[in-house]
Amino acid sequence: MVTWKVKCSSCCLVAYRSDHNETRKLNCSERIMWKYSPDSDPALHIYPVNLGDEGNYTCEITNSEGNFHFFSSLTVIVPPIVTLTYDKSRGAVCQASAGKPAADIFWIPASNHSTEEEVHHPNGTVTRVSYIGWLNSTRPTAVTCLVTHPATNQTLSIDLTNASSSLPYLLIGGAASVAAVSGVTLFLIFRCR
């Protein structure tokens, strides 16, 4: 017998009993299922993964040799949405929205006149905003915002020679591929081993 228990506050239960060739599912979303046939591979499949799937997963295998427990913990990582704009009153504005965990923001060239704000959302994501300003005589012609996050790294650059509040941002770098469970992951598979 193989049983998966998911977050016991509401206790989603997925079970397979080989001697009766019987599967059961109790209190589980339709997104949680067996990867293949549980008699050949008792892997749990979650599609698509979302923030509510975060938590502890237990696999219990019972056979003639005894009871065996395997534990897995799932942390969902959500890449932020990154923008870079210019605001006349605050300077360059780099925003990493709704990431989990919060992204880190760095400026090139660096400045002693940068400030950050953070907003924590009820779903566990965080928006971080960084502002960078200069004295009129020391403002560079361009500025680059580097956003680092476990699921992505992004570099955005803005030309400040004719800076106005409607200046668009220019993407110089793109997202770097990082092995992580994220909000854009299509599925997740847990194996009992």
Whether 171 has a pLDDT exceeding 70, the answer reads: no
Query: How many residues are recorded in the chain?
Result: 193
Strands 44-46 and 55-63: unpaired
- 2-76 matches 81-159 in fold: yes
In DSSP notation, 12-61 reads: EEEEEETTTTEEEEES--TTEEESS-TTT---EEESS--GGG-EEEEEEE
Residues in a beta bridge with 148: 104, 153
CATH number for the domain running over 2-76: 2.60.40.10
Residue 192 has pLDDT above 70, yes or no: no
**pLDDT at residue 132 above 60?**
yes
- Is residue 165 over pLDDT 80? no
In contact, 124 and 51? CB cutoff 8 Å: yes
Domain ranges within the chain, ordered by starting residue: 2-76, 81-159
**Phi and psi torsions of 52, nearest 5°:** -70, -15
Is 180:74 a contact under the CB 8 Å cutoff? no
In DSSP terms, 68 is beta-bridged to: 61
The fold for domain 81-159 equals Immunoglobulin-like (2.60.40)
Q: Report pTM.
A: 0.72
The answer to which of 17-21, 32-36, 164-168 has the lowest mean pLDDT is 164-168
**pLDDT score of 108:** 92
Q: How far is CA 89 from CA 50, 86, 133, 163, 164, in A?
A: 38, 9, 9, 12, 10
